[in-house]
Chains A and B, each alone.
Chain A
Amino acid sequence: MNKSARLEIRLSEAHKERLNQARRLGGYPSLSAFFLAAAEEKVNKILQEKLPMLPLDEQSVFQLLEMIQNPAPANEALRELMKTDLTHIVEKLLHSDKDQSPRAPFTATPAKKPSKKRISLR
């Protein structure tokens, strides 16, 4: 069940009257409704700006939807890429590196067994 929360704000009479005037002109039934609507706008704006990894504005969302609904056919480079087996090329590259590698030769070290320390609770 959603428990409702309460919010009280202290402000001057004059300020309250000014807010009420705007509330009436804007057609909001109550100051609460007015506050919530106004805050929601602000919340959306801030979240949109500050949420990490959400750099998309409304236009970009439209753009993304367009790309999803009508995906561009793969370009020639991608077509070619997905047809090519690069395994041998990579192997050759790394193999020739190994012959001339300035790095220290690899020496096998057995993987460490996970330690099995026990913590006594006594």
Chain B
Amino acid sequence: MLHSLQPLQKNHRRSAFHCGNAQLDHYLKTQARQDQARGISQTTVLVRDLEVYGYYSLSNYSLKTDLFVSNPTLKLRGVQYPDIPLHLLGRLAVDIRYRGTGMGKYLLQSAMSRAYDSAQISASVGLITQPIDQNAQNFYSKWGFQPLGTGVLWFLSMKSIALLLNTSHP
């Protein structure tokens, strides 16, 4: 059976998943399905024979600007709404045995192209992510994500993704 990217399901085997970060392992094993059931975030898993080898989770998200909209400079720059719509790439992890093999890239590619597709129906200015450690920061930075402010959040504009997908995506 070939591998595939699927929405996380109950019968996907997650107990052996180990990515090297306890929080990310824990999320997949205990929280992801609940979040999915509640409509908080959607987890896509890379599976083969129902075994999970990697995953990412996406949600709609908004950054609040309403604390700042009274600022005249922001008004000048066209900020009229209290929220900026985004996609949150909440988590992305690969089983530790496949670190450095390209599987993370594969998941990111999928996440970006699906966020882009979704933004054609429900608008979003880009992907935002909260790298969990320095490794994750290096990973996102490599693909052009840029830190905002103190570097808790990293951002990649949907336009950057769109230009690529419009011209080169199969």
Tell me if B163 counts as interface (CB < 8 A to partner A).
yes
List chain A residues, Cβ under 8 A from B152: 55
Tell me if B103 counts as interface (CB < 8 A to partner A).
yes
Least CB distance, A91 to chain B, in whole angstroms: 6
List chain B residues, Cβ under 8 A from A59: 149
Partner of A82, one of B102, B126, B157, B164: B164
Please determine whether B146 and A97 come into contact, CB atoms closer than 8 angstroms. no
Q: Within B58-76, which residues are at the interface with A (CB < 8 Å)?
A: 61, 63-65, 67-68, 71, 73-74
Tell me if B114 counts as interface (CB < 8 A to partner A).
no
Partner of B149, one of A53, A55, A103, A111: A55
| With A74-B163, A82-B164, A106-B51 as contacts: A91 and B67 at CB distance below 8 Å | no
Listed stretches A16-24, A25-33, A64-72; interface member: A64-72
List chain B residues, Cβ under 8 A from A81: 105, 108-109, 143
Tell me if A14 counts as interface (CB < 8 A to partner B).
no
Least CB distance, B84 to chain A, in whole angstroms: 7
Least CB distance, B161 to chain A, in whole angstroms: 7
Tell me if B48 counts as interface (CB < 8 A to partner A).
yes
Tell me if B11 counts as interface (CB < 8 A to partner A).
yes
Query: Which 7 residue pairs across A and B have the least CB separation, nearest first?
Result: A60-B149, A71-B157, A71-B159, A55-B152, A86-B106, A82-B164, A75-B144
Interface residues of B (CB under 8 A from A): 2-3, 10-11, 13, 16, 46, 48-51, 53, 61, 63-65, 67-68, 71, 73-74, 77, 79, 84, 97-98, 101-103, 105-106, 108-109, 112-113, 125-126, 142-144, 146, 148-150, 152-153, 155, 157, 159-161, 163-165, 168-170
Since A60-B149, A61-B74 are in contact, a sample of 14 more A-B pairs with Cβ atoms closer than 8 Å, ordered by chain A residue number, is A56-B149, A57-B150, A67-B126, A67-B146, A74-B164, A79-B164, A82-B109, A82-B161, A86-B102, A86-B109, A93-B101, A98-B49, A103-B51, A106-B49
